[in-house]
Structure 1
């Protein structure tokens, strides 16, 4: 761990102009790239007291061995240079918003003499126009098959095209009218290109004009008594409308926009982007990336906008008639970046026209933003579930934990404790159990903490020690004695004949916290004479693994299966503790309000809260509504109503009236 003061630039040597800076480690690897309006102000903030830095920043500056910078003329140049360096060096402390897979798109080879339509994955190529991305390739093929009857363009490969040019007869698609057969001269090259242009206009959102043109042609054919052509045009119009129905209208004003949403936990962030063109959702993409540290949401948005649209524009080498850009005119985000004007200016220069970045406040845009956010939350949950259910990943996680903690065997049973309270009140503890990497909910336990430790330690530390002591005292009571026959063993369940649930200890005992919590739990185990349990702590900020009496934590790779398993166990313990704490606090608050009502016992208090859902709802109820609760008579209902309204309404005294 390096000392930042050893490579801090000399006072006054850092310029005050805008620029971009890079932190490097001792091997010359770029660790972080950032931009600043004033390099001196920004870089000096990194060399302040380490205790005041964010965890991610502190980890970065202590891993670096030097810093360098480049001065630029404007802040827009700084933003562009930052994007270029992040793309070039791929720094580990910069989050890279890149797809974890290649999304299929519909490609149109406008650069060829006879353009071709086909499904494509991979990097963008010059002279090709792209539509999408789509979530699935079958969705493109389904849409393409539907539209080919209206726009019979070429879909065959170059080899097939050359062969049928030599044969002088079309392929099957030409015979069934799903290709205009330019290979045989059935249409000229210019006529075929016009068909392709109409196809591109339709996918680009110019749907109304094409439908009106077909309707006029159908009317003309009908007036000319060409009913066969009129019927064919009628079917073409129906096919276009069917294709439009598959793309739901989300913006009634026909807006072109991208809607972005994020969902994250301590380790990963899920990104969802809906591409809306002409008011309709034309494409969707989403992926899950590693999350580093705890940046502000505005920082996440700025990093995403610069990286994602920078790469989109760089990969887009279209030679379309309109010179279209993958950057839309409007980008809807959950929160504006701090330098939103600068980001908009940079995106506008990339696009060649104005780009706005906004947070939706109301109407259909806010509704779609909420839908995109739900998709991001669901994508993150599905990603976690898929990874947790993978037997190979669980086995790898247990094996890595065994090696990291230097255990004799893989930790098949893992237990974790967590403490929950509000400013020291209603303190509760939770114990969750995982066996073979999966939760064993039948062994979960709640603990009510009677009082905090009085030896100067924090409440959390004392509570961790109490829960640990109570759990392993139960283990000692249920343990199987070695010198007693099994049939006379008190540690066996008399009903099942199996060892009691806490008759055997865990391989790994996790506490939610750092060194103080770990040392407190380890001291309790030493006091009880238990030596076959490995105690570790998992700190939330940097996800460090702390071992007893060790001044430095163990750092697991953020992408490792072992850290993912530890995080799942810790998060489950936290969820279980929070749930119990809320229920206990709710019962206490309910009791404090209803206990003062004469003639109201525990059964009827429970019935009241169950019926109305909360004391607040009960306070707003009338006497007639209270009488509808089973077991509550008219006299009791009147007493409840008067008592609750007396509690909720302040007493008016002469002094308070004078003040008013």
Structure 2
């Protein structure tokens, strides 16, 4: 591991001007490329104390062995140079989007003497007009088949074209009127090129003028009693309208825009793009990336725009690009897009109306793409095996942890303290073994104490069952009065008999065999509490670690420094999934208990009093007890509560029997569990 101070530039060496910088490793390979409005200010951020750097940045600067930079005149030039170098060097620490599939395009080879319409994939070629991308190749072929009636452009391969020219007979499409047959001289090169340009113009969204032209020609043919020609033009118009119906209108103002949405977590991000032309969705594509550099949503959007339009010119760049977050600063990227199009390009966040609704649809697609990517990644046996091996190596375990249990604590500012236990076996969730706990021995925001209690109860129960020889325990699934231990099957809470979870045959559910690894949601204090609980019970064959949310560091008992797994590590990815599932399960249980408590408030009896004003009243007075003791004038002082409502509240509370506070006595707010 290199020390950044060994290659830090001297004072005054770095210019205070726009530019692009490159970090190289000891083998002179470029590992990171970045741009800056001020090279001096940006590079100074990399040479701070290592402890203050983000883990990803820290890994990059300790891997690098040198840094160099190139000065440019403007931020737009820096943006272009950064894109070029990223494509040239493929740096390992830069965000690199990878297509989740190879998307087909409808291509028109305008670089040939007789342009050809075809389906094309892969890298784009110069002189070829592209439309799409499309989800499936058959969708392109259906569209082309409908449009060839009105625009009989050549679709045959070079071999078929040459053979037809040699024998003097066109192919089948030439005989049925779906090709102008330039191979046999029915149409000249200039006329055929004009036909191809009209095809491209129609595909670019300029549909109205072509339809009006055909309708005028059909009317003229009918007036001149050329009924066969009029019928043929009528069929051409119908074919074009059917082709237009293949994509529904989503924006009524015939907008040309690209919508970019991002769904992300700590390790990965999915980007989805909808291409809208003439108000219709003409194509869709998606990318997935590992977040190997410290980058937020705005940075991901900037990288996506670079990749999306880095090779595009002219009409391929739309008039408007809608994004979920604007790059900072936004002016260089907007100017860069405008230069590539040759006219002004609007880059903005949609706030309302149809564009906002469509952006939400694109975002849902991005979320589904990320979930699908994670599902495929998690279901792969080889990947799961590698993840377990990486965890075993990082934690120095004797063997791969085939069974992992993860615990999380959740509460509402110290009230309703609950905990969850989720189980992963062979890298997959085993929901039938999930458990949930109520912590009633104390109240307050003491996650460490709660973690100690929950771990103690889980393994005390295991030791009790270990003493039995195949007999089912008739006692409660928890080991103290008022405690709960319940199971979850297929994501739903299992049926309960007498306050405890039961199997299908009515027998109480048991804690299964012990795990090889216990994961706690938290850092050093939570890990120490879990290890202390195991030590007190004499359990010495179970490893413990904790995963801290802020920096995704893995903590081990008794260690002063965390274990930092690579961001691309399958082992870290598995630990994250386990931790996130425990958090989800705990939050779900806590919200259920919270909802039952909130619904019992006497304020529910006040007619016309909604949730917003209930929260405002409880937040103002702190509890139902204090609210009951308040007078009408005091209640009316709460913002949003009029005198009539205050009188109704006072009357309702006066008629209700005194009870324990139904909501949080501190704020009365519904908040996320911790």
2:364 corresponds to 1:374:
yes
Aligned positions of 1:529-548 closer than 5 A: 529-548=538-557
Q: CA deviation at 1:373?
A: 1.2
CA distance in 1, matches of 2:396, 2:54: 31
Worse-matched range after superposition: 393-402 or 296-305: 393-402
- What's 1:152 paired with? 152
The aligned counterpart of 2:19 is 19
Q: Does 1:522 align with 2:512?
A: no
Question: Are 2:333 and 1:343 aligned?
Answer: yes
Counterpart CA distance in 2 for 1:30 and 1:429 is: 47
Contact 2:56 2:567 in 1 (8 A): no
Distance change (3 Å), C-alpha of 1:238 and 1:646: farther
1:472 is matched with 459
Of the structure 1 ranges 80-89 and 392-401, higher mean CA displacement relative to structure 2 is found in 392-401
- Between the aligned partners of 1:199 and 1:503, the Cα distance in structure 2 is 67
- Confirm or deny: 8 A CA contact 1:619 1:641 kept in the other structure: no
Q: Which moved more, 1:26-35 or 1:101-110?
A: 26-35
Correspondence 1:388 to 2:397: no
> Which residue of the other structure, out of 505, 509, 513, is the alignment partner of 2:522?
513
Shift in CA distance, 43/560, structure 1 to aligned 2, threshold 3 Å:
closer
Deviation, 1:211, is: 0.8
- For structure 2, the 5+ residue unaligned runs are 478-501, 617-646, 657-674
Check whether the contact 1:266–1:540 (CA below 8 A) recurs between aligned residues: no
Distance in 1 (alpha carbons) for counterparts of 2:50 and 2:320 = 40
| More displaced stretch, 273-282 vs 543-552 | 543-552
Structure 1 residues 19-77: Cα deviation after superposition (integer angstroms, max 9, x where no partner): 22233334433333222222222222333344444343334334434333222222222
Gaps of 5+ in 1: 317-323, 598-604, 621-637, 648-660
Q: What is the correspondence of 1:541-620 to structure 2 with a 5 Å cutoff? A: 541-591=550-600, 593-594=601-602
Query: For the residues of structure 1 that align with 2:505 and 2:169, how far apart are their CA atoms?
Result: 80
Q: Which residue of 2 aligns with 1:459?
A: 446
Distance 1:331 1:581 in 2: 41
Matched-pair contact (CA < 8 Å) for 2:57–2:294: no
Match of 2:318 in 1: 328
Contact conserved, 1:97 with 1:308, CA < 8 A, in 2? no
CA contact (8 A) 2:419 2:454 kept: yes
Q: Distance in 1 between matches of 2:654 and 2:473?
A: 59
Match of 2:662 in 1: none
Contact map agreement 1:262 1:373 (CA 8 A) in 2? yes
SS in structure 2 of the partner of residue 430 of structure 1: strand
> How far does the alpha carbon of each residue in 1:365-412 deviate from its partner, in whole angstroms, 9 at most, with x for none?
222212211211122122223333444544444454455545555433
Corresponding residue for residue 186 of structure 2 = 186
Question: Following TM superposition, by how much is the alpha carbon of 1:502 offset from its aligned partner in structure 2, in angstroms?
Answer: 1.6
User: Closer, same or farther in 2 for the Cα pair 1:238/1:371, shift >3 Å?
Assistant: same
Q: Per the alignment, do residues 479 and 360 of structure 1 end up closer, same or farther by CA in structure 2, a change over 3 Å counting?
A: same
- The match for 1:133 is 133
Deviations 1:68-122 (A, max 9, x none): 3222222222222222222222233321234243211011111212211110001
For the residues of structure 1 that align with 2:411 and 2:546, how far apart are their CA atoms?
A: 19
Cα 1:439–1:503 change in 2 (3 A) is closer
Give the match's secondary structure for 2:327: coil
Count of residue correspondences: 601
**Cα distance change of structure 1 residues 440 and 66 upon mapping to structure 2, 3 Å threshold:** same
Q: 1:499 to 1:255 in 2, by over 3 A?
A: closer
| CA apart distance, 1:488 | 9.5
Q: Is the 8 A contact 2:94 2:293 kept in 1?
A: no
TM-score if structure 1 supplies the norm length? 0.82
Is the Cα–Cα contact under 8 Å of residues 478 and 500 in structure 1 kept in the other structure?
Answer: no
> CA separation in 1, counterparts of 2:573 and 2:567?
8
SS across alignment from 1:502: coil
Find out whether 1:283 has 2:283 as its counterpart: yes
**In structure 2, how many angstroms separate the alpha carbons of the residues matched to 1:499 and 1:646?**
43
The offset of 1:286, in angstroms, is 0.9
SS in 2 for 1:342: helix
Whole-Å Cα distance in 2 between the matches of residues 405 and 470 of structure 1? 25
Q: Determine if contact 2:472/2:507 at 8 Å carries over to the other structure.
A: no
Deviating more after overlay: 496-505 vs 118-127: 496-505
Alpha carbons 2:544, 2:557 under 8 Å: kept:
yes
| Aligned equivalent of 1:270 | 270
Greater Cα shift, 386-395 or 348-357: 386-395
Q: Give the secondary structure class of the aligned counterpart of 1:578.
A: helix
- What do residues 476-512 of structure 1 show as CA deviations (whole Å, max 9, x unaligned)? 111245xxx6569999999979996325201221112
Note the C-alpha offset of 1:575: 0.6
Q: Are positions 1:72 and 2:60 aligned together?
A: no
- Give SS of 2:318's match: coil
Aligned equivalent of 2:353: 363
Could you tell me whether the CA contact under 8 Å between 2:474 and 2:508 is conserved in 1? no
